[in-house]
Structure 1
Amino acid sequence: DWHTHEFRLKLTRYNQWFSPIMPLLIEGVVAQIRQIMQRVVEDDNVFPDEDVIRSSIVATKSCIRICQEWESVDYPDINIRYAALIKLTNTICEQCRQYARNLAHKLSENESFIDLYRTRSYNVAEKFCVVVNDIDYVKQKLLSSLPNLLHFSSVIDKMIESYELTDFQQTKVTLERLIATAENEMNNVIELIFDHVDTLFCASLKDKVSKYYEDEKNENVDPMKDINQYIDHEIVAKLDKSLKVTQCSRVACAIHIKALQCLRELLPLQEPPDFYERVLRTFNHLTKYFETKYREEQHIHSSSREEITTFRRTLEQFASSTEQLQLRYFQDIAGKDSPVNML
């Protein structure tokens, strides 16, 4: 009876039936990812409308979906999975690096930076933030997630277990280095954009700093009002609105340093001590503003820290009266000649 004695076919090592086509499947997945990423810069308008979904976001999500679909196959042959791991990581890193290069070239080719300087409009700079967000999105969502997305550790561990060789651990190191290299290239493009925007900020701030110093000389009420409003409302507010949180502190630090440079370069040198005392208060207020609004310490280079310290000491020295300078001079001499320092 058929219902009583059903025919049962036991499939043995059925996964090997598909072994011949698996390399072709991997190549197809790789080609699909390459095609998706190559279209990103071609499709993206450098300055998009706000309601346009950026193709970089679509491409990133597509690549993630493809990787997830491959992993869901969970093919039992670890050699196939190992080969796929290397090919997919190589391809994605290579395409992300090319994406960064193409984007940098496109920005320069379209004279976007020239337009930035010609208009001196922070609306243009604000639009550059969209490009920065695109790069950051691809970097964070796709590149940084590859070790988890493609299960680096489990695949490598199974290869080590299968072949009883720890040499495969070096593969993981190599793949992570590929990711880091691609991330660095993308960061370089972000730095390129920020450098140009920072230069624009410095150029637009110089007139306001010159006016501030004139107002300080005349002891006008609230001489920093224009600068404070410009930085807080025109610059920082737009950056907060346009940039991802991960980039805000970074660019705020650059703006802080540029503001310092403007104050230092335009500082009058023949004013009475009380003038420099007021400037010192302004400088401390500006520094406190950035420290309060952003945690920017990690983004300040040691050379910039030295600039901040040196400028503060200069202002403190200029703000001192003749008597205070003389006292400090003799204290320094006494300190150098003290028995403690001679030991």
Structure 2
Amino acid sequence: MKITKVEAVPFAIPFRKSLTFASGEVHVADHVLVRVHTDEGLIGTAEAPPRPYTYGETQESIVAVIGKVFAPQITGLSALEREVIHARLDRTVGNPTAKAAIDMAVWDVIGQAAGMPVTELLGGWSDRMRVSHMVGFAPTEQMVAEAERVRDTYGITTFKVKVGRRPYRLDVEACRALRTALGDGVELYIDGNRGWSASESARALREMDDLDLDLAEELCPADDVLGRRWLVSQTRIPFVADESAPTPADVTRELLGGSATAISIKTARTGFTASTRVLNQCEAMGVEVVIGNQIDGQIGTLCAVAFGAAHRATTRRAGELSNFLDMADDLLTEPLVIESGTLRVREGIGLGLTIDSDKLAHFRLDR
């Protein structure tokens, strides 16, 4: 089961509706399809979504680092030599989504070779997850209409509301309108993408104290160490580290330093291997986790639910698994389906995915 080739195929699929938030705006899924080939004919598949405003990666840089650096370093290794693979990838700093995609594609190969679903290899806790839907910046009435449509169409009852605008009362008004329209039976939480200062965050949270928010995520800048600690010390709801905790070491620093009380795990940036390490850290420290979303397409979403459903701790909260609904198309032969507010793990060995060759030919950018 030797690795013979690592492909990095750039593709672009437009969104029907852009997602706007404090740190950026996404109109097109300009992602990279990553495939790991072996001498036994097995092909593992994953997706790398570049987020230059968060990690500094671009589509071009992901293709380049995989093709010129990572592929030569791991070609010839067995897919089972995961620790060796990671040691070689980690010689190069940064590039988290490129590394994560290779890791997940390798796990897909291992699952296929074992004749088992990856989610069973990872833990096998469940075959599905409850779904949370992100609501991005828009006029308040549009945000409410989107949430109501998603609830009524897909049965989703957990919503992550993007905040971080100035003045902050724009977001307070939107959250209040969402709570009024959706009622008490819906879970609401907020994500600032580092858009507010610590003091703005504190004022906004005070004004939303009666809205029964479940979580608050990355409201202020990650490098405002003292401000974050001050904010977390007076926040009564779990404060989630996301962009500030992209590695296991960052998770340790955020939690021990008092800058967070919960962690967002994103398989798009930590794959399955490092995500497991982060989850184990959090379980050992009694810290809650949520499965986050890197504005993934269906391939990335399938990876996220495969990991999230595998563990008891990650199924306690709804996972952010619905961003692909806003994409105009995707690369899978069999699209993902959200029913009754849940998304099932794909049946079959490995990750259970098959790429539609015609769609890939249409959307790829390198031919």
TM value normalised by structure 2: 0.24
Structure of greater relative contact order (alpha carbons < 8 Å, 6+ residues apart): 2
Larger of the two Rg values belongs to structure: 1
More helix by share: 1
More strand by share: 2
